Amino acid sequence: MLSLNRKLSNASAANVLLSQRFVKICGVTQKNQAIEISAMGADFIGINLWPLSKRYLPLEKASWLSEIPRATSVVGVFVNADINYLKEVAASGLVSHLQLHGDESADLCAMLIEAGQSIIKAFRVSDVSMLDEIADYPVNDILLDSYHPEHRGGSGECFPWNLALKFKQKYPNRSLFLAGGLHADNVSEAVRTVRPYAVDVASGVEDGTPGIKNLEKVARFIKQAKAGAPLI
């Protein structure tokens, strides 16, 4: 997998990472929490750069992202952002991945990939027919999230795992980021059932205030996710 190759620096690291699930803690807004979450073993930290998000962090207030240890990849999350803004964020060097969580076209994704950007394309899915459009996207890393007519992730609604299994059957060579309603008490089961490339959580490690994480919940989530099942 392309995204897996990006995470591996040498053969010895590969032997470790192939036995573990990757974890993305999304909607982080606090510098100190981000650094602690990285130290806990999070592979990805998501920063929401969509102004309408309840976990929005303006780019001008995110210079501290450069202090996140390099072992943790920083993902900028966007919804229908202008391509010039996406390129501006990428050029800032503060994020390593662009997560497109809106109605972005396959052509836009292709342009960004051709420009050397690492893309995660999110899809809100409620039935198996909605998986078909993914075929048009030249993106390896696909995030499946619960469908909601208003919210763009972070709603806490559980994603139907049977659709994730259908995705894996239909797109066996793509990397699946599983999101939607995950928390420390169900992520191990999700990993054993679906065996995604990565699991993604936002509200499931919060106590009710969007963007402020309960670090005990984060630690439990990471532990349960990585213990759930081997990647291969």
Q: pLDDT class for 227, splitting at 50, 70, 90?
A: confident
Q: Which domain holds residue 24?
A: 2-227
Q: pLDDT class for 231, splitting at 50, 70, 90?
A: low
| Average pLDDT value over all residues in the chain | 88
From 43, 109, 141, 145, active-site residue? 145
CA separation for the pair 108, 121 (Å, rounded): 11
34-43, 79-88, 119-128, 148-157: least confident range: 148-157
For 147-186, write each residue's pLDDT tens digit.
655 555 544 567 899 999 999 999 999 999 999 999 999 9
Q: What does the pLDDT read at residue 186?
A: 94
Q: What does the pLDDT read at residue 172?
A: 95
CA separation for the pair 204, 153 (Å, rounded): 12
CA separation for the pair 182, 141 (Å, rounded): 19
Q: Is 158 a catalytic residue?
A: no
53-57, 143-147, 202-206, 221-225: least confident range: 143-147
Tokens of 174: 């793509």
Residue 56 within any structural domain of the chain: yes
pTM, full prediction: 0.88
Residue 67 within any structural domain of the chain: yes
Residue 72 within any structural domain of the chain: yes
For residues 35-50, average pLDDT = 97
- Bigger pLDDT: 22 or 152? 22
Instruction: Give how many domains the chain has, as a whole number.
Output: 1
Whole-angstrom Cα Rg for the chain: 16
CA separation for the pair 137, 90 (Å, rounded): 20
Region for 164 from its dihedrals, namely left if φ exceeds 0, alpha if ψ lies in -120 to 50, beta otherwise:
alpha
**Domain CATH number, residue 9:** 3.20.20.70
Containing 22, the helix (H) or strand (E) segment is strand 22-25
Residue 232 within any structural domain of the chain: no
Tokens of 156: 């806490």
For 104-139, write each residue's pLDDT tens digit.
999 999 999 999 999 999 999 989 999 999 999 999
Containing 217, the helix (H) or strand (E) segment is helix 215-227
- Bigger pLDDT: 10 or 98? 98
Q: What does the pLDDT read at residue 150?
A: 56
pLDDT of 211 higher than 60: yes
pLDDT of 221 higher than 80: yes
**CA 100 to each of CA 25, 31, 142, 225: distance values in angstroms, whole numbers, following the listed order:** 16, 23, 10, 24
From 26, 109, 141, 200, active-site residue? 26
For 192-208, write each residue's pLDDT tens digit.
999 999 999 999 999 99
